[in-house]
Amino acid sequence: MSTRSLAKEQPASFAFNADMTALAQRIIAKYPAGRQASAVIPLLDLAQRQEGWVTQPAIEVVAKMLDMAPIRVLEVATFYTMFNLSPVGKTHVQVCTSLSCWLRGSNDVVKACKEKLNIGFGETTADGKFSLAELECSGACVNAPVIQIGDDYFEDVDYASTGKILDAFKRGEKPAHGSAIGRAGAAPAGEAITLTENPAPPPKQDFAAAKAAFEKAKAEAAAKAAAPKP
């Protein structure tokens, strides 16, 4: 069983900046009185977006804002792998290596990442610009293999396309995310083999006539109900 714990070296303090504070208050306000603890995951996410990772001081601040015991917030932070418990690079590269991605060639994707960045899983480049992590599972199995960088998914990648993506980030660019082979969403790869013709348009609806018929039926029903009974 794997364990997740906070980094040994921690900053002295943490405070949300003005924008994050305003956003945190709006998130908390969504929940009924006495249920503010439900905002713990969104607030931890805000802390990570601001600092790049979840720190011990950030956990204490979130606990105070939500009137929770710090240990309860720590339990959430250490349970969900979406939270980084130690510093990561400015560009955090996460490669999915679960079964679907592995079957589709994630080993080649990992190889490209390690060669381009010259680091392994759990490591950060000396300049702090890149870090590499193993992810399981990305939840995008139909478009495997998948790399997650920030909030974006790069799908249907291979050795060559992974190298191009990382080179673009190195140049300070933000390459287009999505399928590297031009797949439309999660549609099957290649051209369509079914429903290749446009369906016939639906018959035109006469809404005016339908409304008139409804009003007539409604009036007849009302008249029948109002008629004296024998």
Q: List b or e across 69-97, with b for residues whose CB sees 16 or more CB atoms inside 10 angstroms.
A: eeeebbebbbeeeebbbbebbebbbbbbb
- Outline which parts of the chain fall under CATH 1.10.10.1590: 18-79
Three-class SS state of 41: helix
Residues, the chain: 230
Q: For 47-53, what is the mean pLDDT? A: 94
Q: Assess contact for 50 and 16: CB atoms under 8 A.
A: yes
Split at pLDDT 50, 70, 90, the class of 2 is low
Question: Amino acid identity of 117?
Answer: L
Q: What percent of the chain has pLDDT over 90?
A: 66
pLDDT value, residue 131: 93
More confident residue, 195 or 28: 28
Residue bearing tokens 């995008």: 140
What is the number of other CB atoms lying within 10 angstroms of the CB of residue 161?
20
For residue 29, pLDDT beyond 50: yes
The secondary structure of the chain in percent helix, strand, coil, rounded to multiples of 5, reads: 45, 10, 45
Contact (Cβ atoms closer than 8 angstroms) between residue 47 and residue 53: no
Among 36-50, 108-122, 173-187, whose mean pLDDT is lowest?
173-187
> How many angstroms separate the CA atoms of 147 and 40, rounded?
27
Name which residue leads in pLDDT, 188 or 118.
118
**Chain-wide mean pLDDT for the chain?**
90
Ranges in the chain annotated CATH 3.40.30.10:
91-179
DSSP code string of 204-223: PP-HHHHHHHHHHHHHHHHH
Q: Higher pLDDT residue, 189 or 146?
A: 146
Alpha helices in 97-183 (DSSP H): 99-103, 106-117, 159-170
The one-letter amino acid at 97: T
pLDDT at 192: 73
Output the pTM of the full model. 0.73
Which CATH class for the 91-179 domain?
Answer: alpha beta
When comparing pLDDT for 197 and 58, which is higher? 58
- Predicted confidence band at 1 (pLDDT cuts at 50, 70, 90)? very low
pLDDT digits (tens, 9 = 90+) for 125-143: 999 999 999 988 888 888 9
Q: Within 13 Å of residue 224, how many CA atoms lie on the same side as its CB?
A: 6
Q: Can you give the pLDDT at residue 93?
A: 95
What's the pLDDT tens digit per position in 92-106?
Answer: 999 999 999 999 999
* Region 41-56 average pLDDT: 95
pLDDT mean over 66-84: 94
CATH number of 18-79: 1.10.10.1590
Q: 73-80: list long-range contacts, CB under 8 Å, 24+ apart.
A: 73/40, 73/44, 74/6, 76/40, 76/41, 76/44, 77/6, 77/44, 78/4, 78/5, 78/6, 79/4, 80/41
Output the pLDDT for position 98.
92
Distance CA 11, CA 142 (A): 41
119: confidence class by pLDDT, cuts 50, 70, 90: very high
pLDDT at residue 194 in the model: 77
